[in-house]
Amino acid sequence: MIQIQAIRQSVNKVIVIGNHEPIIQSILDFDYSSGKTEGSITGIVTGRRGFVKYFFGRREILIPTLTAFPSLSKKTWFLNLNSGRRSLSTSQGAILAGCLGGAIFAENTPELHSLELIQLAQKHSALVVGPASVGLLIPGVLKLGPIGGITPTQIVEGRITKPGSMAVLSASGGMTNELISIATLAGHHLSFALSFGGDRFPALSPRDAFLLAQLDPETKTVLYYGELGGEDEYELVKLKEEGKFTKQVVAHIAGTVASLFPESPQFGHAKAKADKERTTALAKRVALKTAGFNVSHSFSEFIDLVNNLPSEGLSC
C-alpha cells in the first residue's frame, strides 16, 4: 500500500466513476485553491463518449467522458460515485487497471461485495477507503470525494489546502468533516484525513489507517472518532502495546447512551451496535485510556482537548 508521504511527492490524477457535479467541481476548486496549474480529474466514466463542462478557477474546461476505465500510464486514483450495488464491479475495473487506490462514496454496498473488494485491494496493495466514505484528503495534494466540503467557501475557510501535522480518522463521513472543522478552528492544519466508511466491512481498517499515520513523517497527532460496536479499538490498543504506534492521539468513542436501553439499539452505521459488553462505547473508552490514549468523556471535552493542543496558527 502506498504511503501518505509518497502521495505528497507524486503528481496525482483522478478518474471519476459516475457523475456528481458538486463533488467533481469541489475537487477542481480544491486543486485551484492549492495552486495547481491544472485540475487533477482526467476523465469521468459515464458509459458514453463526450465531454462535460466544469470550471478551473474562472476558466471553463472540458473533461472527457468515457465508456469504460482506461489503461493507466500515470499515478491515478479513482473516485467511485456509483450506487452501492455497482460499487464492486466498477471499483474492480479501476483497481485492475492499475489505480493506486480510491474512494467509494455509496452506502449499502452488499456485504459480500465489500469482502471481495477488501481481498482485491489487499492483493493489489491499493489504498481504498469506503464503501460509504466521504473520501481521502491530503492538503494541497489530493481530494477524493466531498471530504472537507463541496463549496469554494468551505474549502477556503476550512484551510484544507495548507499542510500541517494533524491527521483526522473516522468511520463517519459527517464526523470526519466535523473533526476537520474542529481542528482548523483550533489553529491546526491537517497532514491528512480520511473516512473509513460507515458500512460493516470497510476496505481500509482503523488499524491500517493508524499505521499510515505512524509511518507519515508529517503527522504528529491523530484525532480519532469511534463508535460502539465492533472491536477495531482493541486492534489500536494492540498496536500501542506492541510499540507499533507511538504518536499522540485524541479520541472520542460515541454511543454511551446505549447503556440506558434494556438492549443496545442499532445506531446509524452498520457496525454501530454493541452486541456484548466489550463492544460498548464505555468499555472501549476504558481500554483506550488504559493503553495510554487521550480519551474524552464527552464531545465537549474532546473539543477542549483539541483546543488545548499547541496550534500551528491560522494563516491560510
Structural domains in the chain? Answer: 4-219 (3.40.50.720)
Of 122, 102, 125, 106, residue with least CA distance to 12: 102
Residue 72: pLDDT band with limits 50, 70, 90:
confident
Residue 270: pLDDT band with limits 50, 70, 90:
low
* 15 alpha-carbon distance from chain centroid: 17
Per the CB < 8 A criterion, the answer to whether 11 and 75 are in contact is yes
Residue 316: pLDDT band with limits 50, 70, 90:
very low
Residue 105: pLDDT band with limits 50, 70, 90:
very high
pLDDT in the model for residue 229: 84
**Known catalytic residue: 269?**
yes
pLDDT in the model for residue 279: 83
- Name which of 86-90, 114-118, 189-193, 276-280 the model is least confident about: 276-280
Kindly tell me if the per-residue pLDDT of 287 is higher than 90.
yes
User: Dihedral of CA 6/11/16/17: which sign?
Assistant: negative
Per the CB < 8 A criterion, the answer to whether 210 and 245 are in contact is yes
pLDDT tens track for 27-52: 999 999 999 999 999 999 998 999 99
Gyration radius from the chain CA atoms: 19
- Which residue among 20, 252, 269, 297 is the active-site one? 269
The residues pairing with 223 across neighbouring beta strands, listed in sequence order, are: 168, 250
